[in-house]
Amino acid sequence: MKLRVVFAGTPEFSVPCLEACRASGAEVVAVYTQPDRPAGRGRKLTPSPVKQAALDAGIPVEQPESLKSEEARATLAAYAPDLMVVVAYGLILPRKVLAIPRLGCWNVHASLLPRWRGAAPIQRAILAGDGESGVDLMQMEAGLDTGPVLLERRTPISPEDTGGTLHDRLAALGADVLADGLARVMAGETLLPRPQPDEGVTYAHKLDKAEARLDFTRPAIELERQVRAFDPWPVAEGDVNGETLRIWAARAVEGHGSPGSVLGMSREGIDIACGEGALRVTALQRAGGKRITAADYLNAMKARSE
């Protein structure tokens, strides 16, 4: 069975899923993505990664500010989609839009639902110290990530994972689970929806730059997760030796002292006392500088003092 698919997505995370749709044999008749936004130092209007991928593939692109108007719904209906695939699109789909495709709308979500519904499931999982994450292929409903799960892929979260590494792995898993779902449906199979349980619901609220600030009165292990979760954005920051630094890499170690005080500095890192234990900073960035190792930072300090 040939499927007419409309794809809706915006950031880099969505691109592997768009490619999976194209590779599946389904006909991607249109791509919906957020309007171009200002980006970079010049604040030039920049297309989303999904828009760029669609243009490169010669797929028609739609960029409505909202899907609430009759005009927006008529435009979507004119594509006569069998299925709409939504991956980190960033716009709410009203109930009337969900009803347009013959097979409804699928969503690829980067968590093991019902844990971490919402905007930032990857970072929230690391912040919470979760040992596992994954992606769910979900049949969309009007609620926020409340629909039944069709297929799932799981992956452990390692102590070395950052927001960036987990993002990339889940993007690949999302493409894999979507490709599996499309292949099954085109082979005539009906995917069995599994309703989400009422227990274990958590919400992954959107990241705020203010959350990047490190509070050294907290346990070191929590700050280590914060550093990992906020790499590559918004990047953790804290005061070290009276200087505000961006903290790119750090790990919890043994140590005792007044929270925020520097316990020791060596080529291995800068140890900062926390409410429990200490945080060893191993990669950092000074204002206006680039990311460097703690060893390079200490060498620069030594050179300045000479």
> Is 38 among the annotated ligand-binding positions?
no
- Are 198 and 256 in contact by the 8 Å Cβ rule? The answer is no
Residue reference for tokens 């991928």: 53
Is 24 annotated as ligand-binding? no
SS3 at position 61: strand
**Backbone phi and psi for residue 39, each to the nearest 5 degrees, phi listed first:** -150, 160
The secondary structure of residue 148, as a DSSP letter, is P
Residue type for position 113:
L
> Which residue type, as a one-letter code, is found at position 304?
R
Amino acid at residue number 33: T
Strand ranges, E, within 43-88: 44-46, 61-62, 83-87
Locate 207 and state its tokens.
């990241």
Is 14 annotated as contributing to ligand binding? no
Q: What is the DSSP string of 185-221?
A: HHTTPPPPPBPPPSTT--EEPPP-GGGGB--TTSBHH
Q: Which of these, 65, 47, 54, lies nearest to 31 by C-alpha position?
A: 54
Length of the chain: 306
3-state secondary structure at position 10: coil
Is 150 one of the annotated binding-site residues?
no
CA distances (Å), origin 132, targets 123, 124, 170: 12, 12, 11
Largest Cα span, the chain: 75
| Residue numbers belonging to the annotated binding site | 111-114
| Residue numbers belonging to the annotated binding site for (6S)-5,6,7,8-tetrahydrofolate | 111-114
